[in-house]
Structure 1
Amino acid sequence: MLKIAILGGGVSGSLLAYLIKKYTNNYVKIFDIKDRYIKPCGDIVPNVFEPPNSWPRKYDIKRFAFYLDGERVYDIQYRSTKWIVIDKWKWINDMRKEVDFSYVGNFNGKEFDMTIDSKGPYDLDRKVVYTTRVLLKTDKFDDEAVIEFNTKYTGFYWIFPSEDGVYNIGAGFIEDKNSRDLTLKYIKEKFGDREYKIVDIRGAPISISPIHETNYKIGEARGLLFPLSGEGIRPSAISAVKAFEAIKNGKDFNKYLSEELKKIHEAISVQHMFLKLYLNSSLSLRKQFLRLFFKNEILIDAYLEDKITFEGIAESVRSIKGGSLLRKL
């Protein structure tokens, strides 16, 4: 029997601990700074994966609208659910109740055979964007998900239906750390003539740079977050499943995860490449690129499911404008 410590009880840490406790004879304990999980985000997962311990579904999203500098430039409606809004807090806290827990200050590594890092971005060993998420209640409700880009900044605003009558609204930009003020200003612009009530407001950092040291790390601690969309729930959950498989089957932990998560790491690396290109582009070129992006339904679909690859974008750009914009980039 192994004694396993998991540092951080978020998506990946709590799921891994739950699976170890439920399906093996190993002992596992979560160490965290808080006894309840409360990290905010958009609570969105693409409808392409479900973990072994299913997450509670709050809302199905089929309609999307994209804005650029205040102008509605593209909208689409799918026949089937494209995104799922989950109750992430309930899902994680229910799993944490099933395993032993201690505050991270009480951690003694000598007591354990294996220590796994799932602390997310909180070691601050990478660049982060500081995001703010607001839960807003209103009588006038629309089931459309809104993503709005501003070419002056690198990042985006979002308005996601969270449940009937409640929106999940937020923002995160590399160039401006004060996402709270930006989000509140955005809400006034979008909801100024409507009655609404802010029921919760919280902030959190998310990773936007590559991670070089990945041994015994899972989830966002391992850098598993798509920088173009900010989506980290699904890749974190997948890393927990793969970590569980390695432990349960007696595999070399780091080697197994490197092999099994290779495609996700490659996709994230591609997104880091495009993020860097975008950061180094002029405002006019950013606007050209985004307008081009919104003309391609294939790219929109890939963006919504975090399936963007270099080959896919290059081919789509060539098919639209003969590669002229790609050559500029």
Structure 2
Amino acid sequence: MAEALNIVGAGPAGASAAYAASKLGFRAVVYEANPRPAVKPCGRGIPTLSNLPFEVPKERVIADIKGAVLYVDGVKSVEVRDTVRGYIVDKEGMIRDVIASSGAELYTSSPYNASNGTVKVNGQVREVRTGLLAGGVAFYDGEKIYGVQAIVRAPRLESMDYLYIDFDTSLIGYYWIFPAEEGVEVGVGGFESPQRLRELLERYIEKHKEMLGSYSILSIAGAPIAVGGVSTGSVRGLFKVGEAAGFVLPLTGEGIRPSAISGYEAARAYLTGLDVNSVLESLNISRVVRVHRSILKALKGMSPERRRDFMFEIPAAVHEEVALGTMNINRIVKALASKPLLAAKIMKYIMIS
């Protein structure tokens, strides 16, 4: 066991790893390549489930989510209220709080060089030969898509308390509108080039100007997203965690919660002498990622028309169980009782994972 845990990356996985180390009585040192933690653009949604390894500070909650509405190619498919609950968070502030509460040392603008296993801190080179690699999608070796997101000032959605999701069968991805500090986040992710996704996003925003009101686009940013499933391993002695190891739900793109769980459990395993990769692969959240991945692969093999039919066939309760990763088999079976063929397909995706 190490006296201090080295962590490369100050995202949800890195922060949770530092938090776990503190619980076990160890000191953590966190190196972040960027000037600030959590710079990757994302929807910043976290379900209010009990499996997040730390409590979200109340002052970091931007919006309470009380439901979701799902469209498929612009046609309303599912709307749920109250059974889908969550938060939109100030991700950077939350991560800073978690790292601070752990007592970890945080060094920003300290990039990791995978070619020689070093970080640069204030111009000084340090060797980092052991620990965890939570450096994000740049270290992920599986399939990726791209997401582009705009921060939009939208007067008509100032009190938005739900998630707006529009699945696009041609993209095999979706558009989203989530609450944000200065209006809403409007984004799109799917199997297209970044340039094409930006064009589609700008067109989507213009198309929804009546919904948004007299809107103004404040900023646009994009990033790759890991959708290939869990891929554990190591780089120069550092065990991959978080999005570096594929801890993102491929169907929804949710990454904060899966990454945080992986970071916490990896740190616990590492500091207690367990096999980190085996522990990560056995987690329930890894199974959820596998289920999402198997469904995504099936969707990719369908025609756009069949994808559309498939999405409309799925009852709200099944959408909910799969999206949240709760996978309550009894609830899924009950919801699919009148659709035996669809039930067989859905259960196949769940059971083979």
Same structural fold, with TM-score higher than 0.5 when normalized by the shorter chain: yes
* CA spacing shift, 1:4–1:112, aligned 2, 3 Å: farther
Aligned twin of 2:287: 266
Verify: 1:104 aligned to 2:111, yes or no.
Answer: yes
Query: What letter corresponds to residue 248 of structure 2 in structure 1?
Result: L
The number of residue pairs the alignment matches comes to 321
Alpha-carbon deviations, 1:66-97, whole Å to 9, x = none? 1111112222221x661211111211234456
Would the alpha carbon gap of residues 81 and 246 (structure 1) be closer, same or farther in structure 2, given more than 3 Å must change? same
Q: 2:203 aligns with which of 185, 209, 221?
A: 185
1:170 corresponds to 2:173: no
Structure 1 runs of 4+ with >6 Å offset: 311-314
- Summarize the Cα distance change of 1:327–1:238 in structure 2 as closer, same or farther, 3 Å threshold: closer
Aligned counterpart in structure 2 of residue 54 of structure 1, from 48, 53, 56: 56
Query: SS state of the match for residue 320, structure 1?
Result: coil
Residue of structure 1 equivalent to 2:74: 70
SS in 2 for 1:85: strand
Further displaced range: 87-96 or 147-156: 87-96
The alpha-carbon deviation at position 152 of structure 1 amounts to 1.4
- The answer to whether the 8 Å contact 1:2/1:113 transfers is no
Q: Distance in 1 between matches of 2:169 and 2:343?
A: 17
Q: Name which of 277, 292, 312 aligns with 2:313.
A: 292
Of the three residues 135, 144, 152, the one matched with 1:119 is: 135
1:40 maps to which residue?
Answer: 41
SS in 2 for 1:201: strand
Q: Secondary structure at the match of 1:188?
A: helix
User: What value does the CA root-mean-square deviation take over the aligned residues?
Assistant: 3.0
- Structure 2 CA distance, aligned partners of 1:144 and 1:52? 23
The alpha-carbon distance between structure 1 residues 312 and 221, as it changes in their structure 2 partners (threshold 3 A), is farther
CA distance in 2, matches of 1:318, 1:299: 8
State the alpha-carbon separation in 2 of the partners of residues 306 and 251 from structure 1.
26
- Provide the C-alpha distance between the structure 2 equivalents of 1:327 and 1:90, rounded to a whole number of angstroms: 42
Cα separation, 2, equivalents of 1:105 and 1:241 = 21
2:92 equivalent to 1:89: yes
Using the size of structure 1 for normalisation, the TM-score is 0.85
User: What are the superposed Cα offsets for residues 30-75 of structure 1, whole Å, 9 maximum, x if unpaired?
Assistant: 2332120211100001110343353421111113211111112222
Counterpart Cα distance in 2 of 1:13 and 1:204: 19
Q: How many angstroms apart in 2 are the aligned matches of 1:322 and 1:250?
A: 46
Q: Sort the Cα spacing of 1:318 and 1:248 in 2 relative to 1 into closer, same or farther, 3 A.
A: same
The answer as to 2:239 corresponding to 1:219 is no
1:52 maps to amino acid: F
Task: Pick one of 338, 341, 353 that aligns with 1:320.
Answer: 338
Alignment pair present for 1:276 and 2:278: no
Matched, 1:230 2:253: yes
Q: Normalization by structure 2: what TM-score?
A: 0.80
Q: Distance in 1 between matches of 2:55 and 2:46?
A: 15
Residues 81 and 264 (structure 1), Cα distance of their counterparts in 2 relative to 1, 3 Å cut: closer
The answer for unaligned runs of 5 or more in structure 1 is none
Q: How far off is 1:267 after superposition? A: 1.9
Cα drift, residue 14 of structure 1: 2.5
What are the superposed Cα offsets for residues 307-329 of structure 1, whole Å, 9 maximum, x if unpaired? 358x6798468523331685799
8 Å contact kept, 2:146–2:192:
no
Q: Conserved in 2, the CA contact under 8 Å of 1:317 and 1:326?
A: no
Identity of aligned residues (%): 26
> What CA distance in whole angstroms lies between the structure 1 residues aligned with 2:143 and 2:221?
20
In structure 2, what is the equivalent of residue 6 of structure 1? 7
Which ranges of structure 2 fall in alignment gaps of 5 or more residues?
120-125, 349-353
Partners of 2:281 and 2:295 in 1: CA distance: 23
